[in-house]
Amino acid sequence: MESAEPEPSGSRPEEEEEEEEEEDEEDGALPAPEQPLAGMEDCLAKKMEITVSEAEKRTGRNAMNIQETYTAYLIETRAVESQSEGQCAPVESLWRRYSEFELLRNYLSVTYPHIVVPPLPEKRADFVWHKLSADNMDPDFVERRRIGLENFLLRVASHPVLCQDKIFYVFLMQEGGWKEMVNETGFQLKADSRLKALNATFRVKNPDKRFTELKHYSDELQSVISHLLRVRARVADRLYGVYKVHGNYGRVFSEWSAIEKEMGDGLQSAGHHMDVYAASIDDILEEEEHYADQLKEYLFYAEALRAVCRKHELMQYDLEMAAQDLTSKKQQCEELATGTVRTFSLKGMTSKLFGQETPEQREAKIKVLEEQIQEGEEQLKSKNLEGRDFVKSAWADIERFKEQKNHDLKEALISYAVMQISMCKKGIQVWTNAKECFSKM
Amino acid sequence: MSLWKGAGGGTGGCCARSSSSVVAAAAASCASSHRGGGGQAPAAAPQLLAEAARPPLPPSLPRSLPGPGTMSSGAASAPKPLPSSGPKSLREMPHPLATSSSEEMGPALTPSPDVLLPRSIADKDLSLPNGTPVDTSSPASSSSLLNRLQLDDDLDVETRDLFVTVDDPKKHVCTMETYITYRVTTKTTRAEFDLPEYSVRRRYQDFDWLRNKLEESQPTHLIPPLPEKFVVKGVVDRFSEEFVETRRKALDKFLKRITDHPVLSFNEHFNVFLTAKDLNAYKKQGMALLSKMGESVKYVTGGYKLRTRPLEFAAIGDYLDTFSLKLGTIDRIAQRIIKEQLEYLVELREYGPVYSTWGGLEVELSEPLEGVSACIGNCCTALEELSEDMTEDFLPVLREYILYAESMKNVLKKRDQVQAEYEAKLEAVALKREDRPKVPADVEKCQDRVECFNADLKADMERWQNNKRQDFRQLLMGMADKNIQYYEKCLTAWESIIPLLQDKPETK
């Protein structure tokens, strides 16, 4: 028997397997890596309008029968009909709360571990600057969360793989019974424990280099975006201060103008412009929050990337352990068969100390081992296959994600620049007006 | 002579000059001699000229007739008579402010009615009224100065005959101390000056001396403030470029204000300050004279208490109080804004580089992120410049005016004292019930003092109000300008990276 080496986790060109396309993913098995029909054109987002249109405060009893206040979000969907009939399809709607969104996402992450699953908006307000409330019930926070949840749904609906998931579809269409349906899939059982994953991260010997690099990238991306968001919040805070202090000019100019004759009018009207200037910062900073939200999405996306890398490490580690186990079993078998002890084993020591086994005993052991080896080899083979498939499909999604990321972040930067330009123009306008008032003094 | 002699020996009549040329005017029938420096004379001149064309010049006035060629700018103006009150007495002269509602009495010598006033102010290559070349880097840029000129109809460049500038600060290191001197350049056609041009070096001490002397010798007038002697703002480098430049501007303003003043500009101490090679020797001389004459030279009134301040002066007092208060508030607001801006700058300085770090992680986004980083860097620079400008150009002028208001309130108090003394003496006489029907001479002297003081003060107040308006107009427009420039710089930076951000690296 040749020793089975764990196959290198890179893809092997001669084994381009054509998998059957699987449309039904309810059993939670790993979906086929290639889905030629599920291109962007067929994704759910094109067939259906999805919005999270409202948010409502509710009180109710939770699982522990304790009264609590929470926010419910209204999801509205409408099929996109062909325009020839001129008729609009009816709008369907249902209410969901944030925890249900979380459940959906967990389900998707476990069920599609090779996919970079879109993140949810933050659970608690983070990276706030002083004016924003860190309270989850704050209307501004709720509003931004509403937008974030809508964004999440649209992202999932436009994903070629995720949009076909039935659980997702039911989430959008059927309010009652959905939770039970999700739990019935038993996805929680398939979830990898965090501890197991951490162990794998440290112990894996031969992960795919691309994933190692991706892991580093996602760590650094998380770090840099966090830093950026923190500093941005401080910048916003300071800028707010600068603008608001100018409001004091308004008051003092007004008071001063009362004792002046010719200068009075000019001072008074200039003071008004200072008030306008001070007030303008509120809208400016509110707009900037949208930019911060865009950055946050990619901060959380980095975590999703990391999750895919973790999955790979886990699978690879699993594979390596299986291969190692197989090798050791084979060795044991060989030793028993030939009677030589090449490696140290407890068995060897005890047999030395307490005498050899009977031939019958040895035969029995060898048989068992051979069976196990057989099993092991099959398992190893399928694990290898799984691993390669995972890498392939994961990498395809990662490439898709990269493009999306580059596109989205560029758009975000452009919109940020546009915001800054608008702020500068407003500033010029106000000070030009003030200057004119001063000139009439 | 009278007790009113200043250290420079100026005496007599209602003349603008405080030099010895005024001696003759003293012989004129002014009811009493009073300190050289009656502020009404130049302002009164147009009325005088209008009423009595070209009053005869007192014979003892040397070199006093300005010929046509001695006027500045070489305009074809008719020879101007001296702004002297001639033989008229103080009481006979109509009060300069009596009919001044229609005419704005500018600080300059106003020309006789038949002189055409060229209004070539449209030419932007104007130098400042005092002859300094236009400094476009200062808030007193040519365009705002232009506005200033156009505001005051009577501020005619043509009639100025004295131009003073402060520039060229230099550091002197001596064994005992280190200090800065400034070059004070004078260009003039006035007869009081032996030469048409002077260039001397003066240090802050000298300016301080000058101001004290002016206060002593012209107590009825508002003396412009000096920049603060000591700067208590943490550890301020007295020799830093910014500090020296700020001070230079303030000293320049100080001398220009004196130059613009029809009475103060003829003060002998001022003359010496502008011209003497060795000012210290003159100072010592002055001290000696002072000690000879004793305390009587100083404008001292005993502890008389005024019962009520006349309405118009009370109004001025109230105005100055509120004015100081408001300026103080504005100063605090401006400081607060600068502080907030600097704190904002600190954060921005950390913010920009993070984009750069991010760019280092990315491939396709590398350039856009670097672009944003550089852009923020440019905004930082612009903000730094704005804060510096506000600190160096805006705050000092505010503080100057606060000091100005303080010194003006002191002059008001002195006026009160003079009036109190007069009223007290008058009462004393009334109580004595002596057979003398006539008011004794010294009481009359008091009355003259009061009236002169009032007149000087009112004239100065009006002049001050006008200048204040111009100064604040310029100051606030400058502040608006600085802010506009800041936003324009930021706008340019952000607009320039839009194409960079939108660029699709297809072929990369």
pLDDT tens for each residue of B401-451: 999 999 999 999 999 988 988 888 888 887 776 656 666 788 888 888 899
CB contact under 8 A, B354 and A224: yes
Please give the residue that has the higher pLDDT: either A223 or B24. A223
Three-state secondary-structure class, residue B203: strand
**In this complex, do B340 and A421 lie within 8 Å of one another by their Cβ atoms?**
no
Taking domain A192-341+357-441, whether its CATH number is 3.60.150.10 is answered by no
State the number of CA atoms in the 13 A half-sphere of B61 facing the CB: 25
Q: Calculate the CA A78 to chain-centre distance.
A: 26
Which CATH number is associated with domain A37-190?
3.30.1520.10
The average pLDDT across B266-285 equals 88
With respect to residue B324, please indicate whether it lies within any of the assigned structural domains: yes
> What's the CA gap between B330 and B355, in Å, rounded?
37
The β-bridge partners of B188 are B162
Measured CA to CA, the distance from residue B353 to residue B372 in angstroms comes to 9
A263 at the B interface (CB within 8 A)? yes
On whether residue B128 sits in a domain, the answer given is: no
Q: Which range is most confident: A33-42, A95-104, B431-440?
A: A95-104
pLDDT, chain A, mean: 84
pLDDT tier at B231, thresholds 50, 70, 90: low
Closest CB from A238, A252, A431 relative to B343: A238
- Which residues make Cβ contacts (< 8 Å) with residue A245, sequence separation at least 6? A278, B333, B336, B337, B340
Report CA-CA distances (Å) from B126 to B121, B132, B260, B329.
7, 10, 18, 35
* Interchain pair A241, B476: CB under 8 A: no
Asked whether residue B323 is domain-assigned, the answer is yes
Instruction: Tell me the count of A-B CB pairs closer than 8 A.
Output: 137
Q: How far is CA A91 from CA A76, A78, A87, in A?
A: 6, 5, 12
Share of chain B above pLDDT 70, in %: 62
Partners of residue A232 in chain B, C-beta under 8 Å: 351
pLDDT of amino acid B286: 67
State residue B428's pLDDT score: 82
Domain count, chain B: 1
* Contact yes or no for B38/B14 (Cβ under 8 A): yes
The token pair that represents A8 in the structure block: 């290198």
Beta bridge partners of A79: A48
A37-190 and A192-341+357-441 share one fold = no
* Token pair of B58 as six digits: 């007192």
Binary contact (B347, A231; C-beta < 8 A): yes
Query: Residue B323: which domain range?
Result: 306-503
Cβ distance A428 to B491 less than 8 Å, yes or no, reads: yes
Locate the domains of chain A by residue range: 37-190, 192-341+357-441
B347–A235 CB contact, under 8 Å:
yes
Q: Is pLDDT of B53 > 90?
A: no
Listed residue (B395, B242, B246) closest to B333, CA to CA: B395
With CB atoms and an 8 Å threshold, state whether A256 touches B369: no
DSSP-derived secondary structure for B298-331? S----S---S---HHHHHHHHHHHHHHHHHHHHH
Say whether pLDDT at A313 is over 50. Answer: yes
Residue B286 within a domain: no
The residue among B34 and B271 whose pLDDT is bigger is B271
- Sorted by sequence, the CB contacts under 8 Å of residue A136 that are 6+ apart come out as A71, A124, A125, A142
B257 or B89: which carries more pLDDT confidence?
B257
Residue A131, Ramachandran bin (φ over 0: left; ψ between -120 and 50: alpha; else beta) = alpha
Provide the pLDDT for residue B481.
96
Residue numbers of A between 407 and 426 with CB closer than 8 Å to B = 409-410, 413-414, 416-418, 420-421, 424-425
Whether B465 maps to a domain, the answer reads: yes
Contact B260, B108 (CB under 8 A): yes
pLDDT surpasses 90 at A85: no
Q: Best mutation site among A284, A291, A407, A413 for testing chain B: the one with the most B CBs within 10 Å?
A: A413
**Closest CB from A234, A245, A427 relative to B347:** A234
Residue B508 has pLDDT above 60, yes or no: no
- Express each pLDDT in B88-115 by its tens digit: 444 444 444 444 344 444 443 444 444 4
Pairing between strand A67-79 and A48-61?
antiparallel
Walk across the sheet containing A67-79 and list its strands: A48-61, A67-79, A92-97
Q: Is there a domain that residue B393 lies in? A: yes
Summarize the confidence of residues B158-174 as an average pLDDT. 88
Distances (CA, A) of B191 to B63, B81, B188, B264, B404: 6, 13, 9, 16, 30
Instruction: Give CA–CA dist B155/B108, Å, rounded.
Output: 6
pLDDT of residue B432: 74
In a domain, B414, yes or no: yes
Q: Which pLDDT score is estimated for A358?
A: 77
When pLDDT is averaged across residues A310-327 and rounded to a whole number, the result is 92
> Between A234, A245, A420, which is nearest B494 by CB?
A420
B331: β partners? none
pLDDT value of residue B306: 78
Assess A361–B contact: CB distance below 8 Å, yes or no: no
SS3 state of residue B337: helix
Residue scoring higher pLDDT (B29 or A216): A216
Helix axes A194-203, A264-338, angle to 10 degrees: 70
CATH code (residue B379): 1.20.1270.60
* B285: Cβ contacts below 8 Å, ≥ 6 apart: none
Instruction: Give yes or no for A381 touching B (CB within 8 A).
Output: no
**Residues A37-59, mean pLDDT to the nearest whole number:** 76
Residue B126 three-state SS = coil
A439 contacts in chain B (CB < 8 Å):
147, 473, 477
Q: In this complex, is the C-beta atom of A255 within 8 Å of any C-beta atom belonging to chain B? A: yes
Encoding tokens for residue B26? 């003293």
Residue B360 lies in a domain: yes
Whether the CB of B469 is below 8 Å from some CB of chain A: the reply is: yes
Q: Do B372 and A416 touch (CB under 8 A)?
A: yes
